[in-house]
Amino acid sequence: MLEHLLTEQPNPASEGIDARSTEEILRIINSEDRKVAEAVGRELPAIAQAVDAIVAAFEHGGRLFYVGAGTSGRLGVLDAAECPPTFNVPADLVQAIIAGGEPALARATETTEDDPAIGKKDLAARAITASDVLVGIAASGRTPYVLGAVNEAKRVGALTIGISCTPDSELSHEVTIPIALLVGPEVVAGSTRMKAGTATKMVLNMLTTASLIRLGYVYGNLMVNVQPKNSKLTDRARRIISQAASVSDQQAGELLHAAGNSVRTAIVMGRAHISRDEADKRLRAAGGRVTEALRK
């Protein structure tokens, strides 16, 4: 059955790669990697639909769950872990579940991926609800652990998204929003940590980054929800305010202090020349979005 999957096919471009020089090997890998962005680009309409669904869930108190096994699971954990330090969101807003649990992050424990009941149980343990969104990640599109979690999410009424790298997969048929990243056969046949993994990481980055941009965690292209909890972050906050409000570094520091260490409030104060109370009022009315607050 596996031999028919696109991700398991031998790649003509890398035939005989074991007899090539180091630079030739790298050129083959690099040439194949160029196909990844194109594969992701073909799925942008589906990715946009997924982002809109995630934004709607977040706006109504929902959470985002990633579920995967092996490389797919590790990529989900990586993206979820980066959301709090990048955007200062609560740690439970984006959660990742990997088959085999935490030990699977450091060493392969893929035996659990063959049991859909474990996937269902692991997701149920997070108390998923109809307000949440589940993203099932499986390069093959057939991982039983992931499919079990998808079925549990559907049972409780959560919206489901599937990321796979093979056409017409079982995962794509099971979810509301399928994202099929057809990157083609791998340089090393079946090694989906390569092109499939790269494509998957790109999409996960898009899902969270675009969703949080939509929710106002970015102004221009600046991280405006940074919390100045140490000297490095305070310096970053001043630089963001200085750039966003077109003020000097000293003025940015004064605005940050006057805004109670809120970067977004400081920017609105500096650009609109208003008090902290008025800036906070505008931001509340704008749902925390700086651009909208400055239109008031």
With beta carbons less than 8 A apart as the criterion, state whether 9 and 185 touch. Answer: yes
Annotated active-site residue 82? The verdict is yes
Contacts of 9 (CB under 8 A, 6+ apart): 185, 189
Annotated active-site residue 59? The verdict is no
Catalytic one of 8, 82, 254, 292:
82
* Count of other CB atoms within 10 angstroms of residue 144: 19
Catalytic one of 32, 43, 113, 174:
113
Q: Which residues are catalytic?
A: 82, 113
